[in-house]
């Protein structure tokens, strides 16, 4: 489901905004979240004050009334689901051990038992739950991941192996990070007869596999997508999209993406994509294996693709605005061929302390890529350099230290989240051969660090700088912060702050920084907000609800986005920043085909050609914190 925007005049918008704020204030008394201390397991009683008791009685009465006949009972089961993070005692699970496998370090795995729970009605936190009513019907329509596939493609160990606590925890994290499983846990059960033997229970719960989508781009254009997230229980994903476009000449367009998450025990991912549309086409095949855990020694990837599309004529700066050269055609065709190959090796550094050796690696990587065009505009050192034919030869040398801490209520609504913390330093060098610049050398440096600030939250920082010998440079600085859960009496909140800075010199014709959507201000797409340097800030406060309404967790939020973007020769901060201010609410039910629904109202006071008020209804994807793994050597992206 793509974002659907509805624009209206300011007077009506003010009335809606006041009503929306009132709804938020009336609903704020239900907000609550969990305390965060990953060192031990804690629980909170579900009804710890009079207000929550009244809420419970209210929903219980509705529950009983809907139970009087069979049809209403099925509707009740569909709407009122048990809280998926509660155990058999009715207590809400809020913490997970830092590493529960440490006591079993060095034990031998006697047997591996795999149990796959149904998508609906059951829970990783409480395996005694049973599906009923509508849940049973929905479960019959889903095929769980085959046990053979889990053993051969998702487990890093087998029977007879010696337990490595860190490796076991990494494997549990990988299970949760795939698109196949909604949740997964690994439990160690000591053997009753031999003290040095243990049994492993792998508990998994799939996501709902069949995901239909309808995206409406206007009266004359829409598309229908069907994604099979776990094709035939193999763990494979297959997405098919049909585009219907009735503008000018009616046309039916098609695209398909097939992904194999892991091929055997190699942890190699395969992906193939075909897209046949009116103005674009794409054939792409990728095979890659990143450093999923510090224990992996070899990583690499290979990609070949062929694409064609129509590009707009490059813009040029004229004062403070961007203009199109009227002497050039508005659109021109592009046909590109790409071949990319990279390989990296990880080494332990024996001179480090034992603790550092466990999670730190020295990385050496090599990369070759070739980009050629069979159709393009006229290219010269001063014009359309983006479409040059070029080959890149890169080598990377780096050091990475990464660990993970289990936390809750960051980007998820109560499920276990694995927060990466650590640091990396990566130096990349090499050269490019092209038909425009000839041979030019390149050097780049990437530095990143993330850590918990005791009880003050989590902070991440990134510096990415690269330059060619002819003066083409790119610089990216980014910082992300989230606060600890804040106690507000009847509610808990977490605040998020993001800062982004980008800068470039002697960039190519038609290559600019922008502040659209995730690049600066959410909810906009303007062709006038471009430049060669930018500074963006985003502040968001999110509240997490205590009770659930018809099976959904509720999270109201408020956000403020501000950004500057200018050409190189203008001062960056020379006026009031472009701004977006908004209120919204997110609804999430982990068991439904869609995860999160977002309703947002945003006010844009000073954006050119953007309506002052914007109401958006969309589904949202799960954001992820940036990891500290090192993979393919790359040239610093300019974005």
State pLDDT tens for residues 531-575: 889 999 999 999 887 766 665 778 899 999 999 999 878 888 888
Separation CA 553–CA 292 (nearest Å): 31
Count of C-beta atoms within a 10 Å radius of residue 148: 11
Top-ranked range on mean pLDDT: pick from 15-29, 133-147, 304-318, 461-475: 461-475
Q: What is the pLDDT of residues 173-182, one digit of tens each?
A: 888 888 788 7
* Confidence class for position 140, pLDDT limits 50, 70, 90: confident
* Predicted pLDDT of residue 29: 34
Average pLDDT, the chain: 78
Separation CA 86–CA 129 (nearest Å): 11
Closest CA to 252 of 244, 264, 262, 241: 244
* Predicted pLDDT of residue 33: 32
Token pair, residue 291, equals 């450093």
Mean pLDDT value across residues 74-93: 41
CATH code for the part of the protein at 102-206 = 3.10.20.310
Mean pLDDT value across residues 439-462: 94
Rg (alpha carbons) of the chain, rounded to whole number: 26
Beta-strand relationship, 513-514 and 530-531: antiparallel
Q: Which residue has the higher pLDDT, 284 or 265?
A: 284
Contact criterion met (CB below 8 Å) for 526 and 560: no
* Predicted pLDDT of residue 41: 34
* Predicted pLDDT of residue 329: 56
Q: What pTM did the predictor assign?
A: 0.76
* Predicted pLDDT of residue 36: 34
* Predicted pLDDT of residue 547: 63
Q: Which residue has the higher pLDDT, 71 or 155?
A: 155
Residue 160 has, within 13 A of its CA and on its CB side, a CA count of 0
* Confidence class for position 68, pLDDT limits 50, 70, 90: low
Mean pLDDT value across residues 235-255: 81
Closest CA to 127 of 113, 142, 117, 137: 117
pLDDT at 319 over 60: no
Count of C-beta atoms within a 10 Å radius of residue 526: 16
Q: Which residue has the higher pLDDT, 21 or 263?
A: 263
Which residues share a beta bridge with 405? 419
Contact criterion met (CB below 8 Å) for 173 and 83: no
pLDDT at 352 over 60: yes
């Amino acid at each position: 489901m793509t974002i659907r925007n509805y624009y209206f005049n300011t007077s009506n918008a003010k009335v809606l905004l006041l009503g929306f704020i009132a709804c938020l204030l009336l609903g704020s008394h239900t907000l609550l979240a969990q305390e965060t201390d990953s060192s031990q397991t804690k629980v909170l009683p579900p009804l710890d004050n009079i207000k929550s008791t009244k809420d419970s009685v209210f929903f219980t009465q509705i529950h009983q009334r809907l139970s009087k006949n069979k049809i209403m009972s099925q509707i009740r089961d569909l709407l009122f689901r048990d809280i998926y993070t509660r155990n058999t005692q009715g207590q809400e699970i809020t913490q997970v051990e830092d590493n529960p496998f440490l006591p079993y370090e060095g034990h031998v795995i006697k047997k591996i038992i795999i149990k796959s729970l149904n998508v609906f009605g059951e829970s990783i936190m409480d395996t005694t739950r049973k599906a009923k009513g509508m849940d049973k019907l929905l479960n019959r329509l889903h095929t769980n991941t085959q046990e053979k596939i889990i053993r051969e493609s998702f487990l890093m160990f087998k029977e007879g192996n010696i337990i490595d606590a860190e490796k076991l925890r990494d494997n549990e994290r990988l299970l949760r990070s795939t698109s196949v499983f909604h949740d997964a846990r690994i439990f160690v059960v000591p053997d009753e007869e031999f003290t040095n033997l243990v049994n492993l229970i792998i508990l998994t719960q799939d996501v709902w596999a069949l995901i239909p989508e309808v995206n409406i781009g206007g009266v004359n254009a829409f598309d229908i997508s069907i994604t099979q997230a776990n094709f035939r229980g193999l763990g494979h994903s297959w997405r098919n999209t049909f585009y219907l476009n009735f503008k000018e000449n009616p046309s039916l367009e098609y695209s398909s993406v097939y992904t194999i998450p892991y091929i055997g025990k190699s942890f190699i991912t395969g992906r193939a994509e075909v897209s046949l549309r009116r103005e674009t086409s794409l054939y792409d095949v990728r095979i890659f294996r990143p450093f999923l855990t510090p224990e992996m020694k070899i990583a690499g990837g290979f990609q070949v693709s062929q694409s064609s599309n129509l590009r707009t004529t490059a813009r040029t700066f004229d004062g403070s605005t961007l203009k199109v050269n009227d002497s050039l055609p508005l659109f021109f065709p592009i046909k590109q061929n790409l071949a990319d190959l990279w390989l990296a090796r990880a080494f332990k550094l024996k001179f480090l302390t034992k603790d550092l050796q466990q999670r730190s690696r020295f990385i050496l990587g090599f990369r070759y890529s070739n980009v050629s065009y069979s159709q393009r505009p006229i290219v010269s050192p001063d014009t359309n350099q983006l479409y040059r034919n070029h080959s890149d030869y890169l080598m990377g040398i780096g050091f990475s230290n990464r660990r993970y801490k289990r936390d809750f209520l960051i980007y998820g609504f109560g499920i276990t989240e694995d927060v990466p913390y650590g640091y990396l330093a990566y130096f990349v060098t090499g050269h490019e051969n092209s038909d425009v610049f000839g041979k030019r050398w390149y050097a780049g440096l990437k530095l990143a660090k993330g850590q918990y600030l005791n009880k003050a939250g989590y902070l991440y920082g990134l510096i990415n700088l690269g330059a060619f010998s002819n003066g083409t440079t790119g610089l990216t600085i980014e910082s992300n912060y989230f606060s600890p859960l804040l106690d507000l009496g009847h509610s808990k909140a977490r605040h998020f702050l993001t800062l982004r800075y980008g800068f470039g010199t002697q960039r190519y014709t038609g290559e600019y920084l922008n502040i659209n959507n995730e690049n600066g201000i959410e909810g906009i797409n303007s062709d006038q907000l471009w430049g060669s340097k930018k500074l963006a800030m985003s502040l968001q406060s999110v509240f997490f609800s205590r009770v659930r309404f018809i099976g959904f967790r509720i999270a109201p939020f408020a956000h403020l986005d501000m950004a500057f973007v200018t050409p190189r020769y203008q001062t960056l901060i020379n006026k009031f920043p472009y701004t977006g201010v908004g209120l919204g609410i997110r609804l999430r039910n982990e068991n439904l085909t869609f995860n999160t629904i977002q309703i947002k109202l945003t006010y844009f006071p000073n954006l050119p050609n953007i309506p002052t008020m914007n109401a958006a209804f969309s589904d949202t994807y799960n954001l992820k914190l940036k990891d500290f793994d090192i993979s393919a050597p790359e040239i610093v992206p300019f974005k």
